[in-house]
Amino acid sequence: MDRFEAMTLFVRIVESGSFTRAANALDIPRATATLTIQQLEARLGVRLLERTTRQVRPTPDGEAFHERCVHLLAELEDAEAILQPVADNPRGVLRVELHGTHASRIVLPRLEAFHARYPALELVITTGDRRVDLVGEGIDCAVRSGEPEDSSLVARRLATLEQVICASPAYLERMGTPSTPDRLRHHHGIHFVSGSSAPDRTLDLIVDGKTRAFTTGGWLTVNDAESYVTSALEGFGLIQLPHFRLASHLARGELVEILSGWKKATLPLYAVYPQRRQLSPRVRVFLEWLTTIYGACFGDSDQATSTNRDTPASRKLSED
């Protein structure tokens, strides 16, 4: 590895706290990462990393070197970004995290056009319900719903999703259809839990111009979006999700919207990426493309905004 590649590896190790995660993010063998850092430390004549069986962390010298590396690599990326051929034809690996529904229904069906425009880019798209650590896992950008919470990320608004509250016909026949939001407390909700947070037992509506969370009863908690929808289809209770996610089930009568006369809380959707002084060309073109396709699907997008501010906690199904 040359010096810039070694610095990139060192920064990834410090930020992820792991040789293995850093090596995987850069598509190099674990042994190569170890040898490169050993050679870097030998050339500098200092120990940069403290290694234990559980974690890797920088030494005081390593912390100072990390700060300089971040600055130098940002300057290098800035220099490359001003070259028009590089900016117009970015190359390399772009790692993107999506919720499965957004991957299968929004992004992947339109991806051929993006690939045709930027054939030198190699995409790695991962999906799931968990909230990934973008820096630690080497992810370039992700699509997330709810107001951003992480001040280390920058967010670009993609859309505002209309939501519905619904249940299966069998459930409504058995339990009745609530006529007002206050009646929700007498009904079963399918509860959702994400990570170590407490289960979300509420459904959100707009009352007197303000968002109110109405607590439901219920006996079932799930931790992924597919199980959330399936539980409603099986008649276990009420769910709240963006309309596009449930449109086919509603059209076939498998689910029935309730409280249609009451306005539901909307769900903002963002593309988020780690803070950098200069956005890399490969991430920039992908964000521009995401903004275009989500704007076409949902008719709503804003300019990029920093999340270095206090924001409300993100809603349930944080990546749906």
User: What are the backbone dihedrals phi and psi of residue 154, each rounded to the nearest 5 degrees, phi first?
Assistant: -110, 140
- The class (CATH top level) of 163-257 is alpha beta
The two domains 89-158+267-306 and 163-257 share their CATH topology (first three levels equal)? yes
Cα 248 from Cα 168, distance rounded (Å): 13
Q: For residue 51, how many other CB atoms are within 10 A of its CB? A: 13
Cα 199 from Cα 184, distance rounded (Å): 17
The pLDDT, as a whole number, for residue 309 is: 35
Fold of the domain built from segment(s) 3-81: Arc Repressor Mutant, subunit A (1.10.10)
The pLDDT, as a whole number, for residue 85 is: 58
The pLDDT, as a whole number, for residue 312 is: 29
- Asked if 131 and 144 count as a contact pair (C-beta separation under 8 A), the reply is yes
Q: Where are the domains of the chain?
A: 3-81, 89-158+267-306, 163-257
The pLDDT, as a whole number, for residue 176 is: 96
The C-alpha torsion from 213 through 250 and 297 to 202, rounded to 10°, is 10
For the purposes of burial, counting CB atoms within 10 Å of the CB of 299, is it exposed (0-12), middle (13-18) or buried (19 or more)? exposed
The pLDDT, as a whole number, for residue 296 is: 93
The pLDDT, as a whole number, for residue 244 is: 92
Cα 228 from Cα 194, distance rounded (Å): 12
The residues facing 50 across adjacent strands are 57
Q: Per residue in 157-176, pLDDT tens?
A: 999 999 999 999 999 999 99
pTM score of the predicted model: 0.71
The number of CA neighbours under 13 Å toward the Cβ of 62 is 21
- pLDDT < 70: residue spans in the chain: 53, 77-78, 80-88, 129, 136, 195-197, 276-278, 300-320
CATH number corresponding to 89-158+267-306: 3.40.190.10
